[in-house]
Structure 1
Amino acid sequence: MDTLNQILEGLMTRYQQRVSDVKKITQALKERGIIQELSDIENDHIAFRTIGVPQLGIQSLEKIFLHHGYQPRDDYYFEQKKIDARWYAPPEDRLPRIFISELRVDDFPSSIQKLIHSFTDEVKSDPVDDLDLNDAAKVDEFLHSPLWRTPSWNEFNTLAEVSEYASWTIYNKYYLNHFTISVHNLPEPFNTLEEFNKLLLHIGINLNNAGGLIKVSRDGLLKQSSSVSQMIDATFAGNEIHKISGSYVEFAERKILPEFTHLPADKIGRAHRREGFETANADKIFESTYSSQTRKNVN
């Protein structure tokens, strides 16, 4: 478990350095006495994006987390975005769920497939198979290292025209896409997404409005919001620097399942709340890195 904790801490450390909204949100919660430290926040889940080719994708990246006790749960398919996904339950409730998605490369025109494979073919075999999964430093280094060449600005835009998920992933590799604040475990009145979003807007956090500020599951028991990805300076091939979307923050409210609503608040745990994810919600959350949303972050 110590190794897994170190891997997760490594991911969060670099993610926080890259996403200044995390500090902004944390500071606002501290100032209002809602939390003392970031560790007071329950991390609902973290998410990764991958490319669906035989030597990479979900089947490769998941090996790291399966090795450390995570269990696969539901699969999801996003037809319009040409994405598959799977989520994993942690070995302990205090740890975040993990959500891994992958691009369905074979669903794209041959010219786009060829361009994507020009990157992924540089990886000759599954890199996780050669990784010492019990060495936290090595795993951390792998998750933050290039897998293939840096794309050119033209290649990035060619991909973005057909899939902004593809362009983001080809540039960012396995960088943590987002972490998620479990809003329902915060003190009142900030334990509902409606009230928490008011705070976020008040402190100047741009929220993803695709499908509405709050995305609600069909059963009404899972509510999700997300910030819009901040724009980062990205260095492309030939040392060209352009601003592209980085990572973002998600916010989730998991309602108590009807059969457990009679329980006192101090007896409510993860097992008593709505589990899993919702395709319709996640479909819109993906757009937190899309230009339709990030244009709002350009000054």
Structure 2
Amino acid sequence: MPHDMTLEQFFSRLWDDYTAMTPQASRIHDALVADGETIVNDHVAFRTFDRGPICLADLEPHLLALGYTPLEPYDFDAKKLRAWGYLPPREDQPRVFLSELKCSELSAPAREIIDELVAQIDPARIASPEVMWAGRLWEAPTWEAYRTLAEESEYAAWLSIIGLRANHFTISVNHLRRHDTLEKLLAKVESLGLSINASGGRIKGSPEVLLEQASTLADRMPFTFSGGRVEEIPTCYYEFARRYPDADGRLYQGFVAASADRIFESTDARPGHAD
């Protein structure tokens, strides 16, 4: 694995891929910069399957090589996910949230679809950190296969067509001057004509749990499925986070599972539809 990629290069490439999938992120970013704000990325999140050569443990070495340290694990029973949070080498750099789908908890037909996708992966592609924005490492599934996955896991369906890439960047509200609360920031975002993920409330979390989060609903783009059918699919979204100091006066560094559970729904094909 090339160790010559700096964290700045890594996130620059990641941002380019992400904004190509998520035009709203560039619009929000540019509108805030035009307001005189400095944008600091609180964290970036990735999704993967716990299968083949792309499970969490296979991707983690890229983060460790960039200087990240594992913070703590999280479990999302209802969504059949497990995840780890990672802390950056320096406090002004983004945290990372890496989740994987517990495929064994899906039905046999869904597992078969995922195994067929994962079997197509060239293991050599996992050797480079560029795998983190490689997109699909397999041929597009059929629309029927996508729908089968979506019935059981919106996350699985999303991953089957979108592939490996950042599913969201996150603006640190702590670093904003004019839009220094989530309410002000969401009002700004909505003034651009963009929609907010209201699952579990517009603002998830609270000062009591030391973290408040909100997010847009994902952009949508047409994708061509195997067999030629074209459908509009949710791509990626922009998140906003405000952290609060703990009893020792240090800003909370982790993630709140109950809030993240709802943030995942920003990419649901049917927002507000319970899995």
Instruction: Say whether the fold is shared (TM-score over 0.5).
Output: yes
1:1-299 equivalences under 5 Å are 3-33=6-36, 35=37, 40-123=38-121, 125=123, 127-128=125-126, 131=127, 133=128, 139-140=129-130, 143-188=133-178, 190-217=179-206, 219-260=208-249, 272-293=250-271
Distance 1:140 1:165 in 2: 22
- State the 1:218 CA deviation: 8.1
* TM-score (normalised: structure 1): 0.84
- State the 1:124 CA deviation: 6.6
The answer to whether the 8 Å contact 1:232/1:246 transfers is yes
* Stretch deviating more after TM superposition (223-232 or 286-295): 286-295
Structure 1 pair 294–3 and aligned structure 2 pair: CA distance change class (3 A): farther
User: Which of structure 1's runs of 4+ aligned residues deviate more than 6 A?
Assistant: none
- State the 1:143 CA deviation: 2.8
Letter in 2 for 1:228: L
**% of aligned pairs identical?**
34
Structure 1 pair 122–159 and aligned structure 2 pair: CA distance change class (3 A): same
* TM-score (normalised: structure 2): 0.91
CA RMSD of aligned residues (A): 2.0
Q: Say which SS state the counterpart of residue 84 (structure 1) adopts.
A: strand
* Stretch deviating more after TM superposition (277-286 or 219-228): 219-228
The answer to whether the 8 Å contact 2:41/2:170 transfers is yes
Distance 1:10 1:30 in 2: 20
Query: Which stretches in structure 2 are left out of the alignment for 5+ residues?
Result: none
Distance 2:44 2:154 in 1: 20
- State the 1:45 CA deviation: 0.4
Q: How many residues align?
A: 270
Q: Which has the larger radius of gyration?
A: 1
Structure 1 pair 145–198 and aligned structure 2 pair: CA distance change class (3 A): closer
1:61-81 deviation digits (Å, cap 9, x = unpaired): 111111121111111111111
The answer to whether the 8 Å contact 2:207/2:244 transfers is no
- State the 1:217 CA deviation: 5.0
Query: Which stretches in structure 1 are left out of the alignment for 5+ residues?
Result: 134-138, 261-271
Q: Say which SS state the counterpart of residue 291 (structure 1) adopts.
A: coil
Q: Say which SS state the counterpart of residue 75 (structure 2) adopts.
A: strand
The answer to whether the 8 Å contact 1:245/1:294 transfers is no
1:6-49 deviation digits (Å, cap 9, x = unpaired): 1211000121122111122123223433x2xxxx3110000100
